[in-house]
Amino acid sequence: MRVMAQMAMVMNLDKCIGCHTCSVTCKQTWTNRSGTEYVWFNNVETRPGEGYPRRYEDQERWRGGWRLDRRGRLTLRSGGRLRKLLTIFANPRLPSLADYYEPWTYDYAALTDAPLQEHAPVARPRSLVSGEPMKISWSANWDDDLGGSPGLEERDVVLRQVSEKVRLEFEKTFMFYLPRICEHCLNPSCAASCPSGAIYKRTEDGIVLVDQDRCRGWRMCITGCPYKKVYFNHRTGKAEKCTFCFPRVEVGLPTVCAETCVGRLRYIGLMLYDADKVLRAASAPKETDLYEAQLEVFLDPHDPAVVAAAERAGIPPDWIEAARRSPVHALISTYRLALPLHPEYRTLPMVWYIPPLSPVVDAVRDTGEDAEDSGNLFAAIEALRIPVDYLARLFTAGDPAPVDAVLRRLAAMRSYMRDINLGREPDERIPAEVGMTGEQMREMFRLLALAKYDERYVIPPAHAEQAHRLDELATECSLDRDGGPGMGGWGPFGETSGGAAPVAVENFHMLRQRQTADRPAGPSETRGRVNLLNWDGRGRPPGLFPPRRDGAGPGGTASRAGSGAAETEHRS
């Protein structure tokens, strides 16, 4: 047994209202730079729907993830090492920008600069890539809320896999939201695809990161990732991906997407797993066995043998304690409510989902029956094969049994708790029907409905005894190193020269530069056009505001920005 710890996330899809707050805050934090305009480390898809990038689940086309070869051994679907090197000059399976979308902004200046005319002036869209006027035809969530639109049954990859009857009826049935981030897989195919070895999995917390200094832009990771969650920064020529907000997680804070989630549907915690079992689990012969196989990789942090092995593996006691309290462990292993997204890709993903019961509840309510009666709900789950089959295609490689069991537990909890809330005697037969006790059911309800911040996010800070050696802890000034850059700015040869700077230092400089700069971030050659997503509210991007008439000019703003800078420096 080789115990390793993995930072993992569970999302409760019943609670997602599709507000995209996670996407926007994530974008403002990580990808509000030029070169990453089209990149959403976190995106929210409407299912049924095409997803982002379009039809990313079509692995016949994109060849992401792993498959078993004829001898039953695990191989990359896009081909082995030699094949990768031979196709390195033109990756045959790389999504083009059109498969994501062409990012754009608007000619805002036209709104204010236009002379008096009969018709109202129009801010025309312009491509942020080429700078040319463009026709907007697609974006990251273009099919938002269009779950049942005609023609979709042809474009949704998952919908095509379920039966004909389901496809014909799907528009009457359901729609839900699927927020997606990088899965931080136990068996990441992006890392396996990287020719340079720049993508690595951190041994401490399992977060998968791209070493920006080692990435050479060979683009194989983008093909390798079946979830298409590695992106190519077209300005720096490097791959970028969700970082699980590691600078925040290291100090015990949840990721930005979780922190800002309006529905409070995200849970973050540790999972202990046996690294020796990963390969065997990923090589399970039948795709429908992969969910169970992955469950067997996880270890029970309450088991003394596991604790002893974890201690031998150097996992600190506070981390083992956090693993015991982990809401993710409870939802995945104890209650078996959460399911992995597309286990058939064989990457052993570590962002799991509680499938939504709401389509079923809504369907029952529409018939006029009592939607919270357990008998009605159980019958409906059985009768409404459509959502179950679709969900099974998403979460269990098509096996409806685990999805059915999860939905039954959720339905039972609804009925059981309703009796309690209405002051009636709780019916202990309801939890018994799904193999639980009333006590377990109340605890499960507590975790799903009431859990506060510190119960939803059980994130042990990176080892306290290493605090001084961590990048992000501000226990000492990160700038005062011998011969370091001091407060003077960058190294001798421009922005990224002079070796790796700690992230905190980089962020500090970047923030200060942006806050004191007269011009906004982003390509300056597209004069008169502002990417509002890149604009942080500082400075006066040309074209956003009309020119001043009172003669103060940009000088007034500059002096304000200057005083802001002084404040910043004073505070630091």
Partner 1 sequence: MISVVIGQVRRLADAAEGGRAGVEDVLLWAVLPYVAIAVFVLGHYWRYRYDKFGWTTRSSQLHENRLLRIGSPLFHFGVLIVLLGHVGGLLVPNAWTEAAGISEHAYHVAAVTLGTAAGLCTLTGLAILIYRRRTVGPVFSATTRNDKLMYAVLTLVVVLGLAATVAANLAGGGYDYRETVSPWFRSVFLLRPDPDLMADVPILFRLHALSAMLLLGIWPFTRLVHMLTAPIGYLTRPYIVYRSRDARLGARAPRRGWERIP
| DSSP structural state of residue 426 | P
Minimum Å distance from CB 58 to partner 1? 17
Q: Does 528 bind partner 1 (CB under 8 A)?
A: no
In whole angstroms, give the CA distance from residue 114 to residue 240. 40
3 state DSSP class of 512: helix
In whole angstroms, give the CA distance from residue 326 to residue 334. 11
Q: Does 137 bind partner 1 (CB under 8 A)?
A: no
Among 63, 67, 155, 202, binds partner 1 (CB under 8 A): 202
Nearer to partner 1, 37 or 372 (CB): 37
Is residue 506 packed enough to be buried (19+ CB in 10 Å), middle (13-18) or exposed (0-12)? middle
Nearer to partner 1, 195 or 398 (CB): 195
Among 502, 528, 542, 554, binds partner 1 (CB under 8 A): 502
Q: How far is CA 52 from CA 49, 101, 165, 178, 445, in A?
A: 9, 9, 26, 11, 33
CB 190 within 8 A of CB 225: yes
Minimum Å distance from CB 536 to partner 1? 23
Q: Does 571 bind partner 1 (CB under 8 A)?
A: no
Among 498, 547, 555, 564, binds partner 1 (CB under 8 A): 498
Binders of partner 1 in range 57-86 (CB under 8 A): 81-82, 84-85
Among 24, 94, 544, 565, binds partner 1 (CB under 8 A): 94
Amino acid at 165: K
In whole angstroms, give the CA distance from residue 117 to residue 135. 24
CB 209 within 8 A of CB 200: yes
Minimum Å distance from CB 147 to partner 1? 29
Nearer to partner 1, 484 or 542 (CB): 484
Piece of 149-157, 374-382, 438-446, 496-504 that binds partner 1 (CB under 8 A):
496-504
Residues contacting partner 1: total by CB under 8 A: 70
Burial 393-432 (b: 16+ CB within 10 A, else e): bbbbbbbbebbbbbbbbbbbbbbbbbeeeeeeebbeebbe
Binders of partner 1 in range 212-231 (CB under 8 A): 212-219
Among 234, 324, 418, 509, binds partner 1 (CB under 8 A): 234
Question: What phi and psi values does residue 11 have, to the nearest 5 degrees?
Answer: -115, 130
Among 488, 493, 570, 571, binds partner 1 (CB under 8 A): 493
In the complex, which residues of this chain contact partner 1 (CB under 8 A)? 81-82, 84-85, 88-92, 94, 96-97, 127, 129-132, 187-188, 191-192, 194-197, 199-205, 211-219, 232, 234-238, 462, 466, 468-471, 478, 480-484, 491-493, 496-502, 525
